[in-house]
Structure 1
Amino acid sequence: MEDLKRFKNKSGQNTNYQKLVELSRPRELIEKEVLHYYISGLMNEHLVNFKISIECNSLSDQEIERIISYIHHGITFRTYQVSSLLSRGDYLNVKSFRKLETSQSRTAGSFLLVKDNDAYNFLLELITDSPVYLVETGQRARVGEKLKPALFLSGTEDLININIKEDEYQLYRAPYHEVYWTVIDSIVHPINMLEFNSLPDEIRIPGDKKGEFIFEVLPALEKKYDLEIDNYFRKYELHSEEPVITLYFDYIQGNILCNADIEIKGEHISGIEALSRDFDLREYTRSSKGSNLWYLQDNRAVKDLLNLMHDYGFHVRPEEFILRNKEDIIDFITDGFIHLPEEWQLVTTDSFDELEIRTVQLEPIIELKEGDGIDWFEFEVYYNLGGKTFTSSELKKMISQNQHGESYINIDRRYFILQESQQEEGLTKLLDTAEEGYEGDYRSSFYNLLYYKNLIEEAGIRCRGNRVYNSLQEDITAGSLVKEVSIPQRVQDVLRNYQRQGYYWLRFLNKYHLGGILADDMGLGKTIQTLTLLVSLELNKPALVICPRTLIYNWAEEVDKFFPDLKYLVYYGTPEERNEMLDDLQEYELLITSYSIISRDYEKLNDNGLEFAYCILDEAHHIKNHRTKRAQGVKKIKAERKLALTGTPLENSIDELWSIFDFLMPAYLYRYSRFKKEYLNPITKGNDQEKLQEFKKRVAPFILRRNKDEVLTELPEKTINIQYVEMTKLQEDTYQLILDQLKGELLASVQEKGFDRSRINILAALTRLRQVCNHPSLVLNNFEHSAHKEGSGKLAALSEIVQEAVDGGHKIIVFSQFVRMLKIIREDFEKRGVSFEYLDGSTRDRMSRVKSFNQDDRIKAFLISLKAGGIGLNLTAADIVIHVDPWWNPMVERQATDRAHRLGQENRVMVYKLITKGTVEEKMIKLQRRKEDLFNNIVEDNVNPLKQITWEDIQELLDI
């Protein structure tokens, strides 16, 4: 603290108000003026020290002295005392000076620095990075390029001297240190003297090296250094002679033979003899003693010849060199032979001249074999080379015989160097999905036929097709992948155009034994397209439809509606009931069951010898997780052909699509471990776009998807779908209990008061039954609905529809007459993360909820009580309307539906009515259809439609 006080007191004597202000600022905001350094001694070799002076306009003399004292005696000062005065760069410079050998100077603001290697190298850095001035010139110093010394070579051919030419520039050095520099126009140039300091003053030239010194060493030194050579050495003259080399080449029995004739000074020797001769590569001789004329016998070409023979793999025989290895032959012909020196004479035989080495791109030809199999097709791969045809296996065998497996083949005197072409790259992908047979042919699943065709066309591979392939080619070149085929009479006038196209596509897949995914948007009629396919084929085995439990009776209803002659069975019920059905399953054309039943019964079905003509998965995303028991059970069902129906084949990851394809066409996308390596990891972890495009090409031919926007003009403005739902066991028991109770009460009331005076009792009874159809908790006071996820079949069906709609990007309105049911649905939505708005009779901010639903894309659903939302709302953002509990007053339903389907709606609206199977709801729908005119002409105009219902109608509804 005392040091700090002294610093403050002393500083205060010399600071003004501005300095006080600067001290108040954060340190990083104070801009400090840099130091200027003045150096003497760089241009005076007699001084043993460099003298460094420091100046700075913003620092007082006392502060400069404090810095110099810190350099000499830094340990006695606090670091802050100096660092606070300096910029970051100057502070680092001052710390570096402390590490060097310094001494005090008699001049104020200066210090001395011993001339040594460390000091000199640091000064070069200081000049580069900071303002440094030379005292001798008064100019700012710079660092220049490193120079070589200017030299002068004198003497005779016996004895020479090499001296530094000091008249070129002034040379400075640090005493007692091998450090040299010069200063030219205030630019400091380091001098590299290390190579010359070790040379003696005189160098004697050996007698047998004089020619080499005069004609090789001197020119090399002159070229490398700043060297002036005395004119004495310019008087010599040299004549060179080289050997005459003649090479004789022949090609015999797959070997290259080479005879070499070398003529040196009139003497002929063979290449083989040259191996054993010891002669100088460059031999200098003087024409006569004291003469300035020299001769050089340059034999380096002989060494070049012998090295060439060795480098290209020639072996030595008594009379010649021989090259046997095929790879070495290719190397020599394509590289060595064509680069032989022009001055060498070459003599070749006809056999050698006929050697041909060509680089060819492999162009495969695929030939598909004819066969009777329906699951596999076989093919062979051929190549045409040199007028001969080779199979793929033959080509591989020839290549494998090469010493290092190089890609070439030798046919007679022709060598074909094989390069992979675009066709070969495509073939590699193709063979990657095929199995190689023992005889070199291949086989692949029919699943790959369409993928192969695309690969073959993209790669430009020639293909000789079989009947199936040619038929596929004809189908495709006819204009599209599908041809029009006959449509069953019953739906001729029912199918919309896009549904016809979907049916044609399904027939195309059937023709070529392919599986596929019909991925149309919800509500576009995947069911009717599939049923049309099944009826059109007149199958000799039953087809199997597997769907969520909530859709079982919807399939049955569609069959009854469009194909009432189709004999079908709903394979559902208790284990005992299903066991009773097993023996009769073959008698039906269509079986309809659920995923949960199949996961339990697939072994029974297989053990019973059942093989289906078709296995069809509705809402196939239910098997997206291939590890589940459900997915594994479904995939063990035996079927000749398979289809998947889902509006959301891919939700989160491409391995969901793999699971569906693993059901449709096992191994088409490889086994899962390889699929992860080939596609999943590169695409999801590596963002590999090339792999993504390849994956799309693999799956695209087998997925048909149309969304509502694409077929908008073909859709009616409003499509009504009635979806039948089965009750849970609890619902069924509750319903039967209440029904039995109400029958007795109503009979007693009608007998006592008459039918007209009992209408209020009848309405109350029907309401209770409708509540059970929704959820048992609406009538069971002690029932905790949140603890029973499977308490309501209708809630499960609603969840299925909503999830598919949300995944497909739709907006939904859900209507219910019962507020308690809406709250149960609200709780279910909250658990499953479905974003929604809610409106019942107690809701106050109605219009803000409507605005939120219409404008916020994140809000997917609107739960509305029928009474509160029947009129006065505009919800045109929705394109799906669900009536959880429809009733017999179509006017009320229509008013509710029109909240979405009204002026300003650009989408077509899909309306779903959930009807509980085997209840008053189903019977009411049938009654509506039977008395259609009554409802159209009377009920819709009547606030209380019960007045138009007879006691006979009620007896039918309640089985009285």
Structure 2
Amino acid sequence: MLIRKAILPVSLLLSQVTANGGSEFQLEFLSEEPLQQMTASRNVYLVGNTFYLPSHDSLRLIEPILSIFNTPGLRHLQLSRDEAILLVGEIMPGIQSVCPLKMDDRLAGLIVNEPLQATVELDYNEASLRAAVAFNYGHETINPLAAPASDNPEANQNNALIIRRQDQEDEILQLMNQAGFVRQGQHYRLTDQDDIFGFLTTISTQLANLAKISRTPAAAALQVLPAPDVRLGLSLSNDQDSLILRQQFIGLPADERAAYLQALREKRSFIRSFDGNYRRIRLEDRDVLLQLIDLFKLWGVEPGVAECRLPRYRALAMDTLLIQSDTYNMLDIDEAVRTMVRHLHEPGALSFKLPSTLRGKLRPYQKTGFQWLCTLDYYGLGGILADDMGLGKTLQTIAFVARLWQQSRRPSLIIAPTSLVYNWLSEFEKFAPRLPVMILDGNRQQRASRLGEIAEKACVITSYSLLRRDIEDIGTITFASCFLDEAQNIKNPEDLNARSVKQIKADRCFALTGTPIENSLTELWSIFDFILPGYLYSQRTFQNIYELPIIREDSPEALEALHRQILPFVLRRMKKDVLQELPDKIETHTICDMTDEQRLIYEKFLQKSRHELDREVTENGYAKSQIFILALLTRLRQICCHPNLFLPAYEGSSGKLQLLEELLADCFSAGHRVLVFSQFTSMLDIIRREQRTLGIDPFYIDGQVPAEERVSQVQRFNQGEGQLFLVSLRAGGTGLNLTGADTVIHFDPWWNPAVEEQATDRAYRIGQENVVQVFKLYTRHSIEEKIQNLQRKKQHLVDSIIKPGQNLLSKMTLEEVRSLFEP
């Protein structure tokens, strides 16, 4: 007996036989000698007188055949054509090394063992794509959708046995299925347009690596066109007055532009062109392009307009895109536009010299404000100077107006509340005394007669109320600049103030306000409609894209978008932002005019007082007339405050009360808390009454308030309760700690400035963490103004001689007293 470690000496014989009138195949198991399995583990076989120990791998391959033919008496298997093809083409190549397959010559001639040559013929009709797939092996062709050969004997008349590359065929058919093709008879058909586009752009390329693709003329005409090359350009016009926007959709017919943008918005991959072709959509640029297109529509510019002019401020609305545009090839931003945007964000980037006519030194943040105004002017734009009260919006404006006059000798226009008109004149006289400035006031005839003088003035000042009456005349004049003081006066776009102001013609328009928004975002829109008409779009559009989402939906995205859009045109500094540049206490002298009715009463009483003064001094002498003189002066001062203080029947208003109400409204809207001092308790009563009608219930201290109540009110106020504290100068000028306030208003001047200082120190003392703003209110062309001038002249006397309890009157000559009663 022999033992061999070798494969078993077996083979298979395939032959063709005739049975039942047809052709069948027979598979026979051949062994040189009888084969006997010797172990249960089937790893030892006896063939003749030799033991065979085949390897594990060879046993694994031959085991299925041994199992089949292990049945006693079974030596042959009958196979169908498809089974024979399967055996020859797929099974035997894997086991040929351990169990060879033998065939007679005639049968061997029927075997086709050629590489697969697959073809796919495409045709296009009725908006669908038809595909005929064929698998070619040598001269033999197989339609994968045809019935198997065993079911269709006529399909293969020459009885060829084709060795098919099933993996390759399956890969092709999987691609067809992946593309969405469905069987329709002997062909595949694709009808869904998205699937057709996907096949033409992606899968056909993969399929071309596996099969030869041919196209009928109809299919060959079906193209996938490239996405258009979108080019957008932004540059300054030759005259530098506007932007030039250029749009190019290269390769895209104009009649397809709307469909393309709509498909882009819907994130589709293609559109069908009018000639039936498919056009790609470039989704990589989608967000940027749509953002730009939507901006253009808001500006009234249709997509694809080759070239159009836009206001220069539109470059600022594209700020974020300007920053990012280096990453977007389609957006070409001219360097001059980039420079302009950078300058508007960094006012110090351009340097403008302060006018030589300006008197007084600007603090650093005020110089920044001046530079900002000049930068906006340089680029033909307007803006809102929204600094906190007391930071010098007036001085920054005067510096700018003086520079304009120095450069162009053209007038500027300032429109202010009636109560502040003469304060503007006073500030010009203080900071730019050489500038020719005119207040347009008086009756209609007087105002009309002065219109011819406007061209010779650096600045013309008028009120909102007079502008409403004079707009037909003033509206014909073009000013170098126009400033609205307390611009919240045009917060309602429908009222006469706003409609009148927006008829002004000016090269540059600016707004001054500490409260650009008091109650609604429409107020901001109305101010922008003056400084930069159209920048925040129409009122309805503004409400739809900003106001409603912010107010109703509390949308942080809309809020941030609005903030980003207005940022370059609003300069707002709070005291806390420039604390290092400020003194601990800022003092502002604010002057106002009387109302017409108030002025009439004052002039009559002044004339009467002169006669009474002369008679009193003649009869009793100057030294003994001090009390009488003081009484006359007190009456005049009361009229300056409010005629109702000694004329109970008076029902008119007061210029100074109007000024106070303006100041308080500004203070409250900016979050300030205020002390108001007056020596007249009846005046404090009037103020309290007026404030209550506005929903403000002030704290109040005069000489009649018990000590315990005073302490309680002070504690509550210092702990944050309330916005306003009214204090009698005599009752509260000393001994109170009111550091809860950061603003002090002296409604009426006192003879002795030291008394005013003591009152101011109620807020400005140890424990105060904020800069204290002090306003001293004066009435123009009145006893108050004359007392102020005398105090300035005798400042040394006031500082050195007059003690608390004394007053300036006791140190005045008769001539100086008489001057107080001059018209």
TM bucket, shorter chain? 0.7 to 0.9
Aligned counterpart for 2:398 among listed residues 522, 531, 534: 531
Shift, 1:360, TM fit = 7.5
The equivalent residue for 2:201 is: 334
Shift, 1:424, TM fit = 2.1
Partners of 1:644 and 1:919 lie apart in 2 by 30
Instruction: Map 1:272-671 to 2 at 5 A.
Output: 330-334=197-201, 336-337=203-204, 345-347=211-213, 364-368=231-235, 370-372=237-239, 374=241, 376-382=242-248, 396=257, 399=260, 407=270, 416-421=280-285, 422-436=287-301, 440-458=306-324, 460-462=327-329, 463-466=331-334, 468-472=336-340, 475=343, 482-491=349-358, 494-537=361-404, 538-606=407-475, 609-671=476-538
The alpha-carbon distance between structure 1 residues 476 and 767, as it changes in their structure 2 partners (threshold 3 A), is closer
Shift, 1:455, TM fit = 2.6
Partners of 1:400 and 1:762 lie apart in 2 by 84
Shift, 1:596, TM fit = 1.4
Partners of 1:853 and 1:581 lie apart in 2 by 50
Q: Can you list the C-alpha shifts for 1:631-663, whole angstroms capped at 9, x where unaligned?
A: 111111111111111111112222211111111
Partners of 1:628 and 1:838 lie apart in 2 by 36
Q: Can you list the C-alpha shifts for 1:912-959, whole angstroms capped at 9, x where unaligned?
A: 111111111111112222232222222346614322111111111101
The alpha-carbon distance between structure 1 residues 262 and 780, as it changes in their structure 2 partners (threshold 3 A), is same
**Contact in 2 for aligned 1:725/1:793 (Cα 8 Å):** yes
Shift, 1:549, TM fit = 0.8
- Number of aligned residue pairs: 686
Shift, 1:817, TM fit = 0.6
**Contact in 1 for aligned 2:698/2:722 (Cα 8 Å):** yes
TM-score normalised by L of structure 2 = 0.74
Share of identical aligned residues, percent?
35
The alpha-carbon distance between structure 1 residues 345 and 908, as it changes in their structure 2 partners (threshold 3 A), is closer
**Contact in 2 for aligned 1:257/1:323 (Cα 8 Å):** yes
RMSD: 4.5
**Contact in 2 for aligned 1:613/1:641 (Cα 8 Å):** yes
Q: Can you list the C-alpha shifts for 1:596-635, whole angstroms capped at 9, x where unaligned?
A: 12222212222xx301111111111111111212111111
Partners of 2:581 and 2:131 lie apart in 1 by 83
2:819 maps to 1:952: no
Shift, 1:382, TM fit = 4.6
2:574 maps to 1:712: no
Aligned counterpart for 1:870 among listed residues 730, 733, 747: 733
The equivalent residue for 2:649 is: 782
Partners of 1:369 and 1:843 lie apart in 2 by 68
The alpha-carbon distance between structure 1 residues 361 and 713, as it changes in their structure 2 partners (threshold 3 A), is farther
2:597 maps to 1:723: no
The equivalent residue for 1:930 is: 793
Q: Can you list the C-alpha shifts for 1:300-322, whole angstroms capped at 9, x where unaligned?
A: 99xx8999899779999xx9999
**Contact in 2 for aligned 1:245/1:345 (Cα 8 Å):** yes
**Contact in 1 for aligned 2:224/2:279 (Cα 8 Å):** yes
Partners of 1:281 and 1:727 lie apart in 2 by 111
* Letter in structure 2 aligned against 1:565: R
The equivalent residue for 2:99 is: none
**Contact in 2 for aligned 1:367/1:381 (Cα 8 Å):** no
The equivalent residue for 2:759 is: 896
2:771 maps to 1:908: yes
The equivalent residue for 1:247 is: 119
2:542 maps to 1:672: no
2:587 maps to 1:737: no
Aligned-partner SS, 1:742: helix
Q: Can you list the C-alpha shifts for 1:795-823, whole angstroms capped at 9, x where unaligned?
A: 11111111110111111110111111110
The alpha-carbon distance between structure 1 residues 775 and 237, as it changes in their structure 2 partners (threshold 3 A), is farther
Higher relative contact order (CA 8 A, sep 6+): 2
**Contact in 2 for aligned 1:361/1:419 (Cα 8 Å):** no
2:564 maps to 1:682: no
Q: Can you list the C-alpha shifts for 1:35-72, whole angstroms capped at 9, x where unaligned?
A: xxxxxxxxxxxxxxxxxxxxxxxxxxxxxxxxxxxxxx
2:688 maps to 1:819: no
The alpha-carbon distance between structure 1 residues 835 and 587, as it changes in their structure 2 partners (threshold 3 A), is same
Shift, 1:741, TM fit = 1.8
The equivalent residue for 2:806 is: 943
Shift, 1:246, TM fit = 3.9
* Letter in structure 1 aligned against 2:724: A
Instruction: Map 1:25-104 to 2 at 5 A.
Output: none
**Contact in 2 for aligned 1:392/1:440 (Cα 8 Å):** no
Contiguous gaps of at least 5 residues in structure 2: 1-76, 87-111, 154-165
Aligned counterpart for 2:701 among listed residues 835, 839, 846: 839
**Contact in 2 for aligned 1:362/1:420 (Cα 8 Å):** no
* Letter in structure 1 aligned against 2:579: L
The alpha-carbon distance between structure 1 residues 391 and 270, as it changes in their structure 2 partners (threshold 3 A), is closer
Aligned-partner SS, 2:705: coil
The alpha-carbon distance between structure 1 residues 910 and 757, as it changes in their structure 2 partners (threshold 3 A), is same
Shift, 1:452, TM fit = 2.2
* Letter in structure 1 aligned against 2:340: L
* Letter in structure 1 aligned against 2:731: A
Partners of 2:723 and 2:262 lie apart in 1 by 67
**Contact in 2 for aligned 1:426/1:456 (Cα 8 Å):** no
* Letter in structure 2 aligned against 1:605: I
Partners of 2:227 and 2:580 lie apart in 1 by 55
Shift, 1:365, TM fit = 4.5
Aligned-partner SS, 1:676: helix
Shift, 1:835, TM fit = 3.5
Aligned-partner SS, 2:575: coil
* Letter in structure 2 aligned against 1:247: T
Partners of 2:593 and 2:262 lie apart in 1 by 70
Aligned-partner SS, 1:662: helix
The equivalent residue for 1:197 is: none
Partners of 1:281 and 1:794 lie apart in 2 by 107
**Contact in 2 for aligned 1:816/1:885 (Cα 8 Å):** yes
Q: Can you list the C-alpha shifts for 1:503-523, whole angstroms capped at 9, x where unaligned?
A: 111111111111111110001
Aligned-partner SS, 2:425: helix
**Contact in 2 for aligned 1:245/1:260 (Cα 8 Å):** no
Shift, 1:534, TM fit = 1.5
Shift, 1:858, TM fit = 3.5
Contiguous gaps of at least 5 residues in structure 1: 1-234, 287-297, 384-388
Shift, 1:451, TM fit = 2.4
**Contact in 2 for aligned 1:382/1:391 (Cα 8 Å):** no
Partners of 1:285 and 1:515 lie apart in 2 by 88
Partners of 2:149 and 2:647 lie apart in 1 by 116
**Contact in 1 for aligned 2:465/2:497 (Cα 8 Å):** yes
* Letter in structure 2 aligned against 1:825: I
Q: Can you list the C-alpha shifts for 1:835-871, whole angstroms capped at 9, x where unaligned?
A: 321000000121111111111x241111011110111
Q: Can you list the C-alpha shifts for 1:661-702, whole angstroms capped at 9, x where unaligned?
A: 111111111101111111111111122221211111111111
Aligned-partner SS, 1:446: coil
**Contact in 2 for aligned 1:853/1:859 (Cα 8 Å):** yes
**Contact in 2 for aligned 1:364/1:461 (Cα 8 Å):** no
The alpha-carbon distance between structure 1 residues 685 and 362, as it changes in their structure 2 partners (threshold 3 A), is farther
The equivalent residue for 1:801 is: 663
